[in-house]
Chains A and B, each alone.
Chain A
């Protein structure tokens, strides 16, 4: 007779009050079989459904598209993600989310171009757009014909999005190594083989992917990286970060802007559902690429099936998760750094005010994990004066976050040393920066109390 909701057969099972309350009165509003249902926006066309989220079944195809693009544009403008002088790099994985991100960025650029052509003085430049596709076949076991095909499709997609013209960068993941790619490939394989935890491997690949994106962006002079992360993806990240003990750093990853990197990363699809994105791909026939990689037994996989189960049960669950995590305090670097106070868009200013963020405070007040670059909780920051080992690999290990230490780094000192040797230099460099930076920061802080040479004896 005991009932815990799932698999209950007691016959007294009803959805709880919270769930029913959040549901948009499903039977009346979202019934797709009802042919007389009219779009609530234009009140002309028949509504379509199947795009999930709380708006499912309320709009016609056109209004749905306008609405979705509207969410994108609102995110872009209210956070100053893209300005006319920018050079934007869209990270395109071939999947639906980044496909839509690419499409929307293109639509926006096209409009800007039209305005530019129509304007008399041509004073407002049009932002530039490039596309990057990372070939991860040296880490994931992707059949080579699939990858060849994918590269071809990606090329077609990008060349179809003209004018304006877009550069396409197809780079292998081992580009994170500056050495020639053969050597890089080997080091990369060594690194990945050392990580035994399946979740750790996936997360390590994420770190490397970001490193590769950053490298391409700074090499070709881009000043923004656009990711296609949607609500559904972010909701999964909220849960998996929580499960991995990264509650402290979590808010850093889920904002519209993440400028802890050399090239700031922006998430303009942060308010769009995966189902909406899939729907748009279907409606507009946007081509996507899917690789046949088997499902892993990782925590990330477990979380994503958990979240989609929840979303199925309640179409607003994902956004509730993201909204909850959105109330956690973001970091100083969760905004576009170079906009001076007067130019900060109102919405951004309001958010900064809400979280009491001072825009002139520097990023350097945080310490970061050299591996995953997440801000460290005070309990994770090492007291260097207590370090007994002076081996750089041990120092590196100690300066990582506890999540990386557990799921990525090898536990014994010898394997750690080898692992450290095989890491891309840019990651190793980060750790050095951390320890040096700490010292100079400390010196800065105590400067007023430091006596000049010779005085310390008196």
Chain B
């Protein structure tokens, strides 16, 4: 796979330092470089993104959403290194969510615990059980396998924010590969979510929310996996077992196929996402706060509270409304917007 590169009996030399043996082919430039030069390129790319977008200010407290997956593991590693190297002056924390999925999340949390020791970063774990009184396993027991990823997705997003506010951090960063972001652009197109389409490519989101989030992804397409692989970083596969999401799977396959014919397509998708002509009126709805828990919400109650209320009253389908767009009928594209909760499907346990 990636990283295996072209290894012609060790004769090909790194085209940057011209000394060491090349072992990585960079997806965008197709340059063959050695490990050390790859690390350097990868890290400085992230550094550039941070500087160019002025993501942080000295003294800020920053939580890294740590799922135990490759992206967040690499981000935690690189960010703590850059923080030392370039004197960002950040106070970094690892923040994890325990959904309560037996035999599964346990493993990835163990990884995060090891990361805490390895990188010397304080770790905070917030659990669904503590926040909502329900574990994912319990939720699945009640509602079955259908729809449960709505719970997963909505609860996790809020859990991260709540964890971040418990840590009193100024910012929350999450790790993403460029192809994750490209995938998100496609998924938003496929599911009809224009509001998310308009902001899913921006590096910083939620400046108006309680805690801004940023995703310093690597625009040179250098893979997080390659980095993790060479650095022997300790990570865990984090596909959500409750997330059998057919079109997400198709989209992922599609992106892989695309990368094979035209690597730059990933960046082109992101570019499209950035340049879409979205009128300001279709952007996110007016945000207020949830009357029940105080979390930001455009409705009276936030999504999590609506779902929780249903669960607690023994009506778990509440809030996962059934509505059908009247597409293709007389008034064509005028079909009404779905009112019910359309939480971002979780798909993976990454953030």
Decide: A243 near B191, CB < 8 A? Known: A14-B244, A329-B279.
Answer: no
Q: Which of A6, A54, A302, A403 contacts B249 (CB 8 A)?
A: A6
Decide: A302 near B258, CB < 8 A? Known: A313-B250, A327-B282, A355-B279.
Answer: yes
A residues within 8 A CB of B188? 324
**Minimum-distance CB pairs A-B, first 5:** A247-B272, A5-B249, A245-B268, A6-B249, A13-B244
Q: Are B333 and A323 within 8 A (Cβ)?
A: yes
A271 interfacial contact with B, CB 8 Å:
yes
How far does the Cβ of B320 sit from chain A's closest Cβ, in whole Å? 6
Q: Are B147 and A239 within 8 A (Cβ)?
A: no
Q: Are B248 and A17 within 8 A (Cβ)?
A: no
Cα-based distance from A248 to B321 in the complex (angstroms): 33
Q: Are B191 and A1 within 8 A (Cβ)?
A: no
Of residues 286 through 303 on chain A, the ones whose CB sits less than 8 Å from some CB of chain B are: 297-299, 302
Q: Per-residue 0/1 for A305-340: is the Cβ within 8 Å of any B Cβ (1 yes, 0 no)? A: 010011001101101111111111100000000000
Cα-based distance from A271 to B327 in the complex (angstroms): 8
Q: Are A5 and B250 within 8 A (Cβ)?
A: yes
Besides A1-B241, A328-B277, A328-B278, 13 more A-B contacts (Cβ < 8 Å) are: A8-B244, A16-B246, A16-B345, A17-B320, A21-B322, A244-B265, A248-B272, A302-B258, A306-B250, A323-B333, A324-B189, A327-B278, A356-B279
In this complex, the member of A12, A71, A74, A298 whose beta carbon has the largest number of chain B beta carbons within 10 angstroms is: A12
Q: Are A245 and B246 within 8 A (Cβ)?
A: no
Q: Per-residue 0/1 for A1-27: is the Cβ within 8 Å of any B Cβ (1 yes, 0 no)? A: 111111110101111111111101000
Q: Which of B150, B241, B325, B345 contacts A10 (CB 8 A)?
A: B241
Q: Could you list 9 A-B pairs, sorted by A, with CB under 8 Å?
A: A3-B244, A8-B244, A243-B269, A244-B268, A272-B328, A310-B190, A313-B247, A313-B250, A320-B190
How many residues in A have their beta carbons less than 8 Å from beta carbons of B?
Answer: 74
Stretch in B110-118, B192-200, B288-296 with 4+ CB within 8 Å of A: B192-200
How far does the Cβ of B203 sit from chain A's closest Cβ, in whole Å? 17
**What number of residue pairs across chains A and B have CB atoms under 8 A from each other?**
202
How far does the Cβ of B198 sit from chain A's closest Cβ, in whole Å? 10
Q: Are B328 and A239 within 8 A (Cβ)?
A: no
Q: Per-residue 0/1 for B87-119: is the Cβ within 8 Å of any A Cβ (1 yes, 0 no)? A: 000000000000000001000000000000000
Cα-based distance from A124 to B156 in the complex (angstroms): 64
Q: Are B243 and A3 within 8 A (Cβ)?
A: yes
A residues within 8 A CB of B333? 271, 322-323, 326
Cα-based distance from A241 to B185 in the complex (angstroms): 13
Q: Per-residue 0/1 for B285-327: is the Cβ within 8 Å of any A Cβ (1 yes, 0 no)? A: 0000000000000000000000000000000000011111101
Binding site for A on B (CB under 8 A): 104, 145-147, 149-150, 185-186, 188-194, 197, 237, 239-250, 252-254, 257-258, 261-262, 264-265, 267-269, 271-279, 282, 320-325, 327-328, 330, 332-333, 335, 338, 340, 342, 345
For A273, give the chain B residue with the smallest CB separation: B328
Q: Which of B150, B258, B262, B275 contacts A247 (CB 8 A)?
A: B275
Q: Which of A20, A75, A329 contacts B146 (CB 8 A)?
A: A20
Q: Are A241 and B328 within 8 A (Cβ)?
A: no
B residues within 8 A CB of A355? 279
Q: Are B239 and A2 within 8 A (Cβ)?
A: yes
Of residues 377 through 420 on chain A, the ones whose CB sits less than 8 Å from some CB of chain B are: 377, 379, 403, 406
Q: Are B325 and A320 within 8 A (Cβ)?
A: yes
Cα-based distance from A251 to B333 in the complex (angstroms): 14
A102 interfacial contact with B, CB 8 Å:
no
Q: Are A242 and B269 within 8 A (Cβ)?
A: yes
Cα-based distance from A199 to B147 in the complex (angstroms): 39
Q: Are A12 and B242 within 8 A (Cβ)?
A: yes
A residues within 8 A CB of B145? 12, 14
Decide: A245 near B272, CB < 8 A? Known: A12-B242, A18-B191, A75-B332.
Answer: yes
For B245, give the chain A residue with the smallest CB separation: A16
Q: Are A2 and B237 within 8 A (Cβ)?
A: yes
Q: Which of B240, B265, B275 contacts A248 (CB 8 A)?
A: B275
How far does the Cβ of A410 sit from chain B's closest Cβ, in whole Å? 17
How far does the Cβ of B13 sit from chain A's closest Cβ, in whole Å? 26
A187 interfacial contact with B, CB 8 Å:
no
Q: Which of B193, B253, B257 contacts A324 (CB 8 A)?
A: B193
Q: Are A320 and B192 within 8 A (Cβ)?
A: yes
A residues within 8 A CB of B249? 4-8
A residues within 8 A CB of B197? 324
How far does the Cβ of A326 sit from chain B's closest Cβ, in whole Å? 4
Cα-based distance from A322 to B246 in the complex (angstroms): 20
Cα-based distance from A5 to B249 in the complex (angstroms): 5
A55 interfacial contact with B, CB 8 Å:
yes
B residues within 8 A CB of A271? 328, 332-333
How far does the Cβ of A68 sit from chain B's closest Cβ, in whole Å? 10
Q: Are B277 and A319 within 8 A (Cβ)?
A: no
For B257, give the chain A residue with the smallest CB separation: A302
How far does the Cβ of A303 sit from chain B's closest Cβ, in whole Å? 8
Q: Are B272 and A242 within 8 A (Cβ)?
A: yes
A residues within 8 A CB of B272? 241-248, 250
